[in-house]
Amino acid sequence: MTSVLVFGYCLVISLVVALGSVSAQPTRAFFVFGDSLVDSGNNDFLVTTARADAPPYGIDYPTHRPTGRFSNGLNIPDLISLELGLEPTLPYLSPLLVGEKLLIGANFASAGIGILNDTGIQFLNIIHIQKQLKLFHEYQERLSLHIGAEGTRNLVNRALVLITLGGNDFVNNYYLVPYSARSRQFSLPDYVRYLISEYRKVLRRLYDLGARRVLVTGTGPMGCVPAELATRSRTGDCDVELQRAASLFNPQLVQMLNGLNQELGADVFIAANAQRMHMDFVSNPRAYGFVTSKIACCGQGPYNGVGLCTPASNLCPNRDLYAFWDPFHPSEKASRIIVQQILRGTTEYMHPMNLSTIMAIDSKT
């Protein structure tokens, strides 16, 4: 069964304080790019199989209805917004994103995408990252009609931007099927180098579009999600090959970010150790209040990891006891743990500083 998006992932956050001249303007705009870990409903407006628009998705969301988020409740962007006192961003494709709502920011993320445009092609009509960046430019043109070009530039330059990419390029591309096109084209080390080079172009384009502080998290433990345990593990241990992919990708990502910072002459890009953040509760779930990090709350088959979460799936009664909501995505409680490390984690998790420190520094400029 094709995966819809992976728990392993790449997160990027670009930070800037929005101090615009419009009285209705919030203190910070927030922009979100990436895959299903951060999609707040754009795919609900698309003809695609990568959707979370049916129960029990959203069962613990305030409305108790599906919202397009691949979560039982709030997702990572929602939780960052809550921590920073921001209004949650709307999907860019939502007809509600008009007028003063544009000042809040926008969510461009689309489930199924990766760094490469051929990642996720099996999901048909999704918004690949290059298209997301084009929509970001379109957004700025729309906003300038309300606050002018200079006001728009200031808001974007001083906004918070979150981007999550990378895991799907392995699970929904290189390892999607045996002898995939990319696995025939590249050895794993060469593929990782190619991904890093392409991701660098994405980040540089994001910078060119206005991002000035960017938090980048590498892939999480891709081999440990219930979907991979169900299909690739006989013992319940994390899949060695996918874990190897993460161990190759993450250090090279950090190295690339350091190079970009040197080129730009500033600490624009901040590295987050997503593998460490996730492995804390994956390897010791009970220490974080979970009964399991192997079995998904919603799903079927071994580890509830086969197929998708649907109204016919097994459903756990208490989502807070499960690290994974569905075969690929963390529960809201697990996402809260991740966001706390992003905000307040030590240098073991965040280098050279965490999000709270960055924001405190930026508030003085």
Provide the residue ranges of all domains of the chain, joining segments of one domain with +: 30-363
Residue 25 predicted with pLDDT over 80 = no
| pLDDT of amino acid 273 | 87
| pLDDT of amino acid 274 | 87
Residue 6 predicted with pLDDT over 90 = no
The pLDDT tens digits of the residues spanning 275-328 come to: 899 999 999 999 999 999 999 999 999 999 999 999 999 999 999 999 999 999
d(CA 180, CA 171): 11
Residues involved in catalysis? 36, 326, 329
Can you tell me the mean pLDDT for 46-72?
97
Can you tell me the mean pLDDT for 143-169?
93
| pLDDT of amino acid 187 | 98
The pLDDT tens digits of the residues spanning 217-267 come to: 889 899 999 999 999 998 999 999 999 999 999 999 999 999 998 999 998
Which range is least confidently modeled, 37-51, 95-109, 263-277, 314-328?
263-277
CATH class of 30-363: alpha beta
Distances (CA, A) of 217 to 13, 69, 254: 8, 20, 9
Residue 4 predicted with pLDDT over 50 = no
The pLDDT tens digits of the residues spanning 63-83 come to: 999 999 999 999 999 999 999
Residue 12 predicted with pLDDT over 70 = no
| pLDDT of amino acid 16 | 39
| pLDDT of amino acid 8 | 45
Residue 270 predicted with pLDDT over 90 = no
Residue 14 predicted with pLDDT over 80 = no
Q: What percentage of the chain has pLDDT greater than the value 70?
A: 93
| pLDDT of amino acid 105 | 96
| pLDDT of amino acid 18 | 36
Whether a cis peptide bond, with omega within 30° of 0, leads into 352 is yes
Query: Token digits for 292?
Result: 């399991």
d(CA 30, CA 38): 13
| pLDDT of amino acid 234 | 86
| pLDDT of amino acid 364 | 86
Can you tell me the mean pLDDT for 175-194?
97
Return mean pLDDT, the chain.
91
Q: What percentage of the chain has pLDDT greater than the value 90?
A: 80
Can you tell me the mean pLDDT for 88-116?
97
| pLDDT of amino acid 58 | 98
| pLDDT of amino acid 17 | 35
- The CA-CA-CA angle for residues 104, 65, 224, to 5°, reads 85
- What DSSP designation does 321 have? G
| pLDDT of amino acid 160 | 86
Number of H helices, E strands in the chain: 10, 9
Q: Is 96 exposed, middle or buried (0-12, 13-18, 19+ CB in 10 A)?
A: exposed
- What DSSP designation does 106 have? E
